[in-house]
């Protein structure tokens, strides 16, 4: 009887503690409504873009949220367009090449800024950051003239170089924060064991900074893939024109017709890879943007 009574008392005490356990702060209902409204506000333009891409003919002038007669004809037509397919290949070549160069060169520059002590380091980093905010329109006209004179106009290399000019500072800015978070003791231990500075950088620092390298590569690729001003200024034919500029040259069946269907289909097509990339690597992107912001 005594053991049973003690067991019942213990169960009652545990039940009481569970009932009286303080609950965490509850999110107010109006906050969920606000979040839902923001999500709808942000996603609706893309939904409208998809909706237009599924319309043809008279349906394009319809304001209905759901396509009356959805069809994939616009998507078929853009992939039957040799200029669009060629521009997709150009964008891939330009974006991948620029990203690889930016990460390779930027990793060395960022490592030097994070580890070496020299005069003017802060000034150099400030200069790097200022380049990321420099307007591309300010150099578009001079580059057009220079590229025309030296033969780089309407070439892939003529687009890679100016894109690298803006992508490299972005990569350096992100990687400096990651390199600063890596303990110096690991490199010093490798140097004591006989490794060179380059070996320590390649075999110790780079693997540990892999998340930062991935973040910088993703953001650089997205920036180069979406670049439009230099792409349309420094090209004049589909042979070197990347896809954002190629969409601007879509034509309708008549001179005064705007091909909304094919334009929106092409816009959706080039947006899908970026959306997938952001969804897969969103944590790395956030980490790259906030690296070094909190010390602890």
pLDDT at 12: 56
Clarify whether residues 88 and 67 are in a common domain.
no
Same domain, 277 and 220: yes
11 domain residue, yes or no: no
pLDDT at 2: 47
Q: How many domains does the chain have?
A: 2
- Transcribe 151-193 into DSSP letters: T-TTSHHHHHHHHHHHHHHHHHHHHHHHHHHS-HHHHHHHHHT
Q: Are residues 141 and 228 in the same domain?
A: yes
Q: Are residue 122 and residue 263 in the same domain, yes or no?
A: yes
- Assess whether 35 and 113 both reside in one domain: no
Q: Say what angle helices 121-132 and 156-181 make with each other, to 10 degrees.
A: 130
The reply to whether 38 and 106 lie within a common domain is no
CA-CA distance, 75 to 54, in Å (whole number)?
Answer: 8
Query: What average pLDDT values come out for the chain (296 residues) when binned by 10 residues?
Result: 50 52 66 90 89 83 81 89 91 95 91 81 80 84 92 93 91 85 82 81 84 86 92 90 90 69 90 84 66 48
pLDDT at 24: 52
Q: Which pLDDT does position 25 carry in this prediction?
A: 63
Whole-number pLDDT of residue 174 = 84
pTM of the model: 0.80
Task: Give me the pLDDT at residue 224, please.
Answer: 93
In a domain, 18, yes or no: no
> What is the rounded CA–CA span in Å between residue 85 and residue 82?
5
Question: What per-residue confidence (pLDDT) applies to 261?
Answer: 86
Expressed as residue numbers, the domain containing 89 is 73-290
Same domain, 63 and 91: no
Task: State the CATH number of the domain containing residue 128.
Answer: 1.10.3720.10
- Residue 10 belongs to some domain of the structure: no
Q: Judge whether 212 lies within some domain.
A: yes
CA dist 275 and 89 (Å) reads 19
280/168 same-domain check: yes
**In a shared domain, residues 156 and 263:** yes
- Residue 173: inside a domain: yes
On whether residue 15 sits in a domain, the answer given is: no
Is there a single domain that holds both residue 34 and residue 80? no
Tell me: do 193 and 245 sit in the same domain. Answer: yes
Q: Are residues 267 and 235 in the same domain?
A: yes
What gap in Å lies between CA 180 and CA 111, rounded to an integer? 8
């Amino acid at each position: 009887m005594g053991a049973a009574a003690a067991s019942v008392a213990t169960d009652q005490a545990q039940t009481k503690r569970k009932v009286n356990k303080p609950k965490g702060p509850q999110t107010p209902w109006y906050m969920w409504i606000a979040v839902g409204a923001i999500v709808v506000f942000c996603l609706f333009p893309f939904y409208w873009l998809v909706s237009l891409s599924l319309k043809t003919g008279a349906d394009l002038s319809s304001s209905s949220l759901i396509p009356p007669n959805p069809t994939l004809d616009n998507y078929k037509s853009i992939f039957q367009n040799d200029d669009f397919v060629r521009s997709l290949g150009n964008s891939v070549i330009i974006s991948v090449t620029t990203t690889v160069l930016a990460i390779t060169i930027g990793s060395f520059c960022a490592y030097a800024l994070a580890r070496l002590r020299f005069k003017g380091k802060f000034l150099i980093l400030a200069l790097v950051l200022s380049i990321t905010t420099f307007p591309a329109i300010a150099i578009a006209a001079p580059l057009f003239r220079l590229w025309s004179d030296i033969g780089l106009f309407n070439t892939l290399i003529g687009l890679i170089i100016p894109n690298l000019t803006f992508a490299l500072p972005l990569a350096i800015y992100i990687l400096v924060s990651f390199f600063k978070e890596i303990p110096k003791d690991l490199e010093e231990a490798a140097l004591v064991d006989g490794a060179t500075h380059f070996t320590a950088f390649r075999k110790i620092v780079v693997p540990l900074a892999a998340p930062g390298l991935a973040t910088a590569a993703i953001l650089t690729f997205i920036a180069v893939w979406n670049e439009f001003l230099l792409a349309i200024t420094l090209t004049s034919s589909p042979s070197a024109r990347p896809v954002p500029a190629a969409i601007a040259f879509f034509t309708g069946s008549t001179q005064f017709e705007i091909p909304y269907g094919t334009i929106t289909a092409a816009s959706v097509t080039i947006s899908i890879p970026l959306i997938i990339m952001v969804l897969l690597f969103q944590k790395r992107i956030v980490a790259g943007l906030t690296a070094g912001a909190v010390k602890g």
